[in-house]
């Protein structure tokens, strides 16, 4: 062991590069299953090791299987967590306000929601709230290789997961949000009955599509992309400098060329089009999990091909190589770092490295597998990097020239989402984007050049609607509620005008702001105008997802006057419009 450590230290000194002062991302994935942040003492030790290794970021797993290592308003607390301890709040305080500063990126497991054995006992867990959102395979099985999972083709899970993420973004001073398992688990998965029904309705099909059907594969790919787009648009509108990243699939050999991307497992088998996400700009930082054992010549070549592909295919965003140190000796991890930081034959570089994992520091081919918390590993990284550097800047956030235009298309008659509505966006008289509303009626055009836009919204069976003079501001987001069709209700723009309406009048309000958390139908929903403090109570008759303070909503119901003279909207339906 002494010899191995001496060799690692020698290699660290030999491999240290002359451009160590340049900004780059250097981080650990810190999982929630092992020790890392379950107590204050674990957090203190984590940051001590991160700073000793001269790293500048941690990606911490705050959601594992529909649970929370932070003070979630929506999901139950993780069982490993010290009772009453908000790991995320404590970690942010220590990481941001001690020297040097360490970025905190929140890692959320996206698809897995419970292990395969047993069933959650907490009524707050999503499987107990909404068991219908589970994914299934072609044969109707529900336990995937990672346990029970949510299906991206079910609009309810789409919306639930979005709300979970935006709750974190809104309440915590995080530097980034990081998706893991933002995909399906294989070609035979994604057969939730609601998703199949939506697919058949969209394309005039019947029955159960074949797993290899190209249109069905693209449908599932589109469902995953839609949730990434929805979260990116809203999260970065809430916090424009927030960095959105993901742990990405690199199974098998890397692409031989650009066109070969569609043959790789990420795109073909699990419907994770991360190259498309970079091109669209709904991912700021791609961190492919290039986990290969350097001691295996074939796998070492896989590692090099994927790292080279990333260097040459970042599409104006930031690529970071995810290194599987848990598979490698310290010496071999250092070799992989050096290859990751070197330019490709085309002269392109990535912007850093991230290590899996903080806990499983090395793997040396023994039967017991990875070695945990080896201090020589953290020291070797510190000797290699020599000094702390900042993370790389993102020009599209520091000096933006574009903003996000998003919205939700609803049927004015009953506030149901208008799935499949077509949204055309024009600037200076030219069509610049054509979008399709998702299963919740949501659409988003990200990184739209700043300026004045007009929109035309069309849907089968409903009259088209045109909106003009919509301003898009650089670095910000605008969210539009769009109501199609006729309704007997009076559209109320300012809540103070409710006083002028007789009792029993049907009313419709849109874009109002939730004043306090509405976590149970037993509670009253209080909303206010976006630009005033005028409020109204809404008694929701149709169950809806929990609504959080600051959310935007649309509602339709009947105006009544109470004995004390205050107005209330009764027998209402409510629809979530987003977090901004």
**Rounded Cα gap, residues 579 and 277, in angstroms:** 22
CATH of the domain at 475: 2.60.40.10
Is 430 exposed, middle or buried (CB count within 10 Å of its CB: 0-12, 13-18, 19+)? exposed
User: CB of 575 within 8 A of CB of 544?
Assistant: yes
CA 20 from chain centre, in angstroms, equals 31
Domain holding 417, by residue range, is: 400-484
pLDDT of 8 reads 44
Q: Tokens 């140190």 correspond to what residue?
A: 325
Coil vs helix vs strand at 455: strand
Q: Are residues 74 and 163 in the same domain?
A: yes
User: CB of 130 within 8 A of CB of 161?
Assistant: no
Least Cα distance to 106 among 82, 94, 89 occurs for 89
User: CB of 23 within 8 A of CB of 71?
Assistant: no
pLDDT of 386 reads 97
**Rounded Cα gap, residues 461 and 412, in angstroms:** 13
Q: For 272-313, give the DSSP string.
A: --HHHHHHHTS-SEEEEEE---TTSHHHHHHHHHHHHHHHH-
Q: Are residues 458 and 514 in the same domain?
A: no
Q: Tokens 């789409």 correspond to what residue?
A: 158
Q: Are residues 307 and 225 in the same domain?
A: yes
Q: Are residues 454 and 340 in the same domain?
A: no
**Rounded Cα gap, residues 248 and 274, in angstroms:** 7
Assign residue 463 a region (left: φ > 0; alpha: ψ between -120 and 50; beta: otherwise).
beta
Q: Are residues 327 and 229 in the same domain?
A: yes
DSSP E strand boundaries for 10-87: 25-30, 57-63
Segment holding 522, helix H or strand E: none
pLDDT of 60 reads 98
**Rounded Cα gap, residues 569 and 308, in angstroms:** 59
Neighbours of 206 (CB within 10 A): 7
pLDDT of 2 reads 38
Q: Are residues 371 and 236 in the same domain?
A: yes
**Rounded Cα gap, residues 496 and 502, in angstroms:** 13
CATH of the domain at 540: 2.40.50.140
Least Cα distance to 113 among 86, 140, 138, 131 occurs for 131
Please list the alpha-helical segments (H only) found in 172-296.
193-203, 214-238, 265-268, 274-280
pLDDT of 522 reads 80
Neighbours of 531 (CB within 10 A): 8
User: CB of 97 within 8 A of CB of 105?
Assistant: no
Least Cα distance to 397 among 470, 472, 317 occurs for 317
Coil vs helix vs strand at 527: strand
Q: Are residues 138 and 55 in the same domain?
A: yes
Q: Are residues 380 and 407 in the same domain?
A: no
**Rounded Cα gap, residues 229 and 547, in angstroms:** 21
Coil vs helix vs strand at 540: strand
Q: Tokens 């849109």 correspond to what residue?
A: 510
Assign residue 202 a region (left: φ > 0; alpha: ψ between -120 and 50; beta: otherwise).
alpha
Residue ending a domain, among 484, 512, 538, is 484
Assign residue 330 a region (left: φ > 0; alpha: ψ between -120 and 50; beta: otherwise).
alpha
Q: Are residues 269 and 190 in the same domain?
A: yes
Residue ending a domain, among 436, 463, 484, is 484
pLDDT of 333 reads 98
**Rounded Cα gap, residues 34 and 78, in angstroms:** 12
pLDDT of 366 reads 52
| pTM recorded for the entire structure | 0.95
pLDDT of 365 reads 55
Assign residue 320 a region (left: φ > 0; alpha: ψ between -120 and 50; beta: otherwise).
beta
Strand arrangement, sheet containing 477-484: 442-449, 402-411, 477-484
Strand arrangement, sheet containing 451-459: 430-436, 422-427, 451-459, 462-472
Q: Are residues 451 and 563 in the same domain?
A: no
**Rounded Cα gap, residues 578 and 560, in angstroms:** 27
List Cβ<8 Å contacts ≥24 apart for 49-52: 49/358, 49/375, 49/378, 50/102, 50/358, 51/100, 51/102, 51/388, 52/378, 52/379, 52/382
Q: Tokens 């309810």 correspond to what residue?
A: 156
**Rounded Cα gap, residues 334 and 9, in angstroms:** 10
pLDDT of 352 reads 98
Please write the tens of the pLDDT for every residue from 504-548: 999 999 999 999 999 988 888 999 999 999 999 999 998 789 999
Q: Are residues 264 and 328 in the same domain?
A: yes
Q: Are residues 302 and 243 in the same domain?
A: yes
CA 534 from chain centre, in angstroms, equals 33
Q: Six-digit token pair at 183?
A: 């995909």
Q: How many domains does the chain have?
A: 3
Positions of the chain with pLDDT lower than 70, given as ranges: 1-21, 364-368
Residue ending a domain, among 344, 373, 396, is 396
**Rounded Cα gap, residues 465 and 460, in angstroms:** 12
Helices then strands, each counted (H, E), the chain: 13, 26
pLDDT of 543 reads 78
């Amino acid at each position: 062991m002494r010899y191995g450590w001496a060799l690692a230290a020698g290699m660290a000194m030999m491999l240290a590069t002359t451009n160590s002062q340049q900004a780059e991302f250097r981080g650990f994935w810190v999982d929630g299953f092992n020790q890392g942040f379950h107590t204050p003492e674990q957090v203190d030790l984590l940051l001590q090791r991160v700073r000793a290794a001269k790293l500048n970021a941690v990606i911490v797993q705050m959601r594992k299987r529909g649970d929370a290592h932070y003070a979630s308003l929506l999901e139950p607390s993780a069982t490993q967590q010290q009772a009453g301890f908000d790991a995320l709040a404590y970690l942010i305080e220590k990481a941001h306000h001690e020297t040097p500063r360490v970025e905190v990126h929140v890692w959320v497991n996206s698809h897995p929601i419970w292990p395969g054995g047993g069933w959650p006992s907490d009524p707050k867990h999503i499987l107990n709230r909404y068991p219908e959102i589970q994914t299934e395979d072609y044969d109707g099985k529900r336990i995937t290789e990672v346990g029970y999972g949510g299906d991206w083709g079910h609009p309810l899970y789409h919306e639930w997961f979005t709300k979970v993420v935006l709750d974190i973004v809104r309440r915590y001073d995080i530097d980034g949000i990081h998706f893991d398992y933002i995909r399906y688990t294989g070609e035979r998965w994604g057969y939730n009955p609601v998703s199949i029904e939506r697919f058949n309705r969209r394309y005039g099909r019947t029955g159960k599509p074949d797993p290899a059907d190209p249109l069905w594969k693209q449908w599932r790919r589109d469902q995953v992309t839609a949730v990434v787009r929805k979260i990116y648009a809203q999260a970065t509108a809430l916090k424009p400098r927030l960095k959105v990243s993901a742990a990405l699939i690199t199974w098998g050999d890397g692409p031989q060329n650009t066109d070969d991307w569609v043959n790789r497992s990420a795109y073909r088998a699990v419907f994770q089009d991360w190259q498309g996400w970079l091109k669209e700009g709904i991912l700021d930082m791609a961190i492919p999990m290039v986990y290969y054992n350097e001691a295996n010549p074939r796998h070492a070549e896989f590692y090099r091909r994927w790292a080279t592909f990333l260097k040459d295919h970042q599409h104006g965003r930031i690529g970071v190589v995810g290194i599987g140190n848990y598979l490698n000796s310290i010496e071999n991890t250092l070799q992989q770092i050096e290859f990751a930081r070197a330019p490709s034959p085309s002269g392109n570089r990535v912007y850093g490295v991230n290590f899996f994992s903080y806990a499983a520091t090395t793997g040396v081919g023994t039967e017991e597998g990875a070695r945990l918390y080896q201090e020589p590993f953290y020291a070797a990284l510190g000797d290699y990097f020599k000094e702390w550097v900042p993370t790389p800047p993102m020009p599209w956030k520091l000096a933006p020239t574009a903003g996000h235009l998003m919205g939700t298309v609803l049927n004015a008659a009953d506030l149901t989402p208008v799935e499949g509505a077509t949204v055309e966006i024009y600037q200076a008289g030219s069509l610049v984007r054509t979008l399709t509303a998702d299963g919740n009626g949501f659409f988003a055009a990200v990184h739209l050049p700043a300026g004045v836009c007009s929109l035309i919204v069309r849907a089968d069976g409903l009259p088209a609607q045109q909106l003009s003079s919509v301003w898009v501001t650089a670095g910000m987001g605008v969210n539009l509620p769009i109501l199609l069709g006729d309704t007997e209700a009076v559209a109320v723009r300012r809540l103070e005008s409710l006083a002028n309406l007789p009792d029993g009048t049907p009313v419709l309000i849109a874009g109002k702001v939730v004043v306090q958390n509405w976590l149970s139908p037993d509670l009253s929903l209080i909303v206010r105008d976006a630009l005033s403090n005028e409020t109204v109570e809404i008694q929701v008759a149709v169950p809806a997802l929990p609504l959080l303070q600051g959310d935007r909503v649309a509602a339709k119901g009947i105006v009544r006057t109470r004995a004390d003279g205050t107005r209330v909207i009764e027998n209402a339906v409510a629809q979530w419009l987003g977090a901004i």
